Amino acid sequence: MINQILGTLYGMAIGDAMGMPSELWSRQKVKNFFGNIHTFLDGPSENEVAYQYKKGQFTDDTAQALLVLDSLIAKNFHFEPDDFVERLLNWAKEEKAFEKNILGPSSKAALLGIQAGDDVTKITNQAQTNGSAMRIAPIGCLFHPKQKAELIKFVSQISKVTHSSDVTLAGACMIAAAVSGAMAYDTFDQILEFVYSTEAPARELGFETINPSLSTRTRLGIELAKQHAGDDENFLESIYQTIGCGVLMSESVPAALSIAYYAKDVEHCSLLCANLGGDTDTIGAMACAIRGAYEGYSSIRSELIVEINQSNSVNFIRYANHLNEARGTLT
């Protein structure tokens, strides 16, 4: 399982870092500026979010995922919201995340409210963006698919710190379930059926919002993947125009699942996401974590691993060992 857990962690970081330079640019702007992204790049000075990053560096998506793991490791894999919040706020201060505007809108509003000592329930209940899903992929490594109820409960506890609406809990659970399923099942169709089965029970734990079914939108994305098999350009265009790739959970999670299904491997997946346009780093982090869980660390091109290791101060092996030890033990 270490191979698949490391695949999840490195996949997440690779998708995040590859998608960083084009983050939150339209598809046409990405094409006009880059032509085609085919490797790690510095964040361009013209991108008001990505300019601060150098090639191969991951963003707040992977950073927050590691903060979740740091908190769990420190507390013997018992989730303690106060500890996680403290780590988030300390990280935000160190990274000047508020000033640099690198936080998603829901997370930013919730953390500012918490910092001010406010009750942020109204903020977290109305969240509709993807901050809970972008950081959750490694949690899928902790659960076997037979532990669906435990996965949903655990993911929801983590998510509710900043995102407590029905759609944001469902999206996070679906990404974690995709990783869990990818580590256990032989086919992507099996993975997707498990993913779809988590949406309804996860939604029941959150505050009701007006949002479409994530599973229905993902099924549409899978049909587009089949329709455009082998045609990357038209597949991406169809996802961009039909599913959407913005920061809303209802767009980014179905897009990530659809691209993970379509992609040949982690590298291909990362490049698809980077060239898609929209929330490229977050969609890349989610989709490539799933592909990494499915294929394993050993299948990822070594040059990508080296670049991630050189550009970021992180020991993924340590995290993988902790996840492996705790896998299947949480209730």
Is 8 annotated in a binding site? The answer is no
Q: Is 198 annotated as a binding residue?
A: no
Contact between 192 and 222 (Cβ < 8 Å): yes
Phi-psi region of 143 (alpha: psi -120 to 50; beta: other; left: phi over 0): beta
Distance CA 59, CA 159 (A): 19
Angle of CA points 233, 238, 246, to nearest 5° = 105
- Tell me which H or E stretch contains 71: helix 60-74
59 marked among binding-site residues: yes
Residue pair 170/211 in contact (Cβ under 8 Å)? The answer is: no
Query: Would you give the end-to-end CA distance of the chain in angstroms?
Result: 20
Q: Is 83 annotated to bind ligand?
A: no
DSSP line for 238-286: HIIIII--SSBHHHHHHHHHHHHHH-SSHHHHHHHHHHH-BSHHHHHHH
User: How far is CA 80 from each of CA 77, 202, 283, 297, rounded to the nearest angstrom?
Assistant: 9, 20, 27, 30
Residues at the annotated binding site? 59-61, 279, 281-282
Residues at the annotated binding site for Mg(2+)? 59-61, 279, 281-282
